[in-house]
Amino acid sequence: MRRGEASALSARVAAACRPLRSPLFRRHFTARVLSWTGTALSPVALAFAVLAIGGGPAGMGVIVAAEMGAVLVMLLVGGVVADRVSRTRVLAAANAVAGTGQSVAVFLLVTGWAQVWSLAVLAVVGGVASAFSGPASSGLVREVVPGPDLQQANALLRLAQNVVKVGGPAVGGLVVAVAGASWAIAWDAVTYFVAAFLYVGLRLPQGTVRLGPAGMAAQLAEGWREFRARSWLWLMVAQSMLMVPAWLVAYQVLGPVYGQRYLGGAAGWGLVMSAFTAGLLAGAWLALLWRPRRVGWLVCGAVAAMAVPMVSMAAGGGVPGVAAAMCLAGAGQSLASTVWAGLVQARVPNAVYGRVNSICTLAQLAPVPVVALVAGHAAGAGGLRRALAVCAAVTLLAAGLPLARRRVRALVLPRVQGRDLVRSGR
């Protein structure tokens, strides 16, 4: 690389890391990354803990369903609270609650009192904490980072999260093998408590979030009006309502079965999963250094890319082809979601952002449990590769439909201050 090119790359990296110069963002970044290290270890530990107490796959399913159910039920409430109360207080409380739940789980496992029902109750506690922390965390980024740096701030968070995802499960398995599941879950509890402490010390310059109309129903109604008033937003959320269930079914439900039948078992599917993770890292790194302008086209293109692995598996592809397709899908998904998050943060007013964010997330996740159940039966009755082809067709349909609207095709990320974007957000 020539000296001039190296200098330009160095300057671009320095500009990309500009959000870390803010002490407020650094504190938020540290809290999130620390919490993710615990979250990456915990699922592996919990799975082996459930197996150790005789819960089996059915017991694990009950616990996962309990956690997701709590998230879905409480997500809208979490969005309201994120708009009415200081987001740092919400995050401090949510992390403290999650840490307490994991501490109780450790106690039950160490004493031998743990049962599937008790761990499911604690999973509900964790789900509730997640429902409150999600909208608050995303909203906090826009409060501590200037508008032009939102994409880089989100890319830094996404990059760190994906790095943790790469090594977390392996480290979790090692800790479980050497020290036992309770130690890995204990680490998760510690990271939650430290994150809560960091948020307690994070003082926002503008104080608490502006209050809206009194009453939960009025707050939700206001959030719904703001969401519905932005056609570009609800069109893309409708796209996600088709794409997210199709992707999760193909990747989490049908993918492992395909790996077992066509890719040589767990080793082959593990390589495919690693390729997807590598793509996530590449996409986050690209989002850190590149600021694409045509956001609508980018997101729809990324959704189309996520259909490529489904097409490859439906056609009977082997490990190299499916892995390459997964890497492409991961890169597109990571890049597009990072850029999209910055656009929404900039265009949705701060006072209603938590509620709008929670409505978007709820709409994306609500169909997942039902679709997963139906897909499992459909794959058994109609054939695995045919089910994967249906998932691919649904994903491609979701990719193309929003582009029929000019507002989506015209979505851009101007290089202006966040407050200017908010004024023209509809």
Give the model confidence (pLDDT) of 299-352 as tens digits: 999 999 999 999 999 999 998 999 999 999 999 998 888 888 888 888 888 888
| Same fold yes or no, 11-203 and 230-415 | yes
For CA atoms 91, 93, 99, 105, the dihedral sign is negative
Q: What is the pLDDT of residue 423?
A: 37
Tens of pLDDT, residue by residue over 153-197, are 888 888 888 888 777 766 777 787 788 888 989 999 999 999 999
pLDDT of residue 416: 45
pLDDT score for 425 = 46
CA 137 to centroid of chain Cα atoms = 12
Determine contact, residues 193/99, Cβ cutoff 8 Å. Answer: yes
Q: Which two tokens stand for residue 102?
A: 């994991």
Under 8 Å between Cβ of 283 and 330: yes
Q: What is the pLDDT along the chain (426 residues), one digit of tens a residue?
A: 555 555 555 666 666 678 888 888 899 999 999 998 888 888 778 878 887 888 776 777 778 778 888 888 999 999 998 888 889 999 999 999 999 999 999 999 999 898 989 999 999 999 999 999 989 998 888 888 877 788 888 888 888 888 887 777 667 777 877 888 889 899 999 999 999 999 998 887 654 445 555 678 888 888 899 999 998 999 999 998 889 888 888 887 788 788 888 888 877 887 888 888 889 889 888 888 887 878 889 999 999 999 999 999 999 999 899 999 999 999 999 888 888 888 888 888 888 888 998 999 888 888 877 776 666 566 555 578 888 998 899 999 999 999 988 888 888 876 544 433 333 344
d(CA 401, CA 399): 6
Query: In Å, how far from its chain's centre is CA 21?
Result: 25
Per-residue confidence (pLDDT) for residue 9, from 0 to 100: 55
Contact by Cβ (8 Å): 116, 59: yes
pLDDT the model gives residue 265: 80
Which is nearest to 395 in space by CA: 279, 303, 299? 303
CATH code matching the domain that covers 230-415, chosen among 3.40.50.360, 3.90.180.10, 1.20.1250.20, 1.10.30.50 = 1.20.1250.20
CA distance 271 to 248: 18
Q: Are 390 and 307 in contact (CB under 8 A)?
A: no
Domain ranges of the chain: 11-203, 230-415
Angle, CA 108 vertex, CA 102 and CA 113 arms, to 5°: 155
Can you list the alpha helix ranges (DSSP code H) found in 249-383?
255-262, 266-289, 295-306, 308-314, 319-347, 353-365, 368-382
Length of the chain: 426
Which CATH number is 11-203 given?
1.20.1250.20
Q: State how far the alpha carbon of 98 is from the alpha carbons of 103, 127, 130, in Å.
A: 9, 8, 8
Cβ atoms of residues 164 and 156 within 8 Å: no
Tell the residue number behind the tokens 């990271």, with chain if given.
Answer: 191
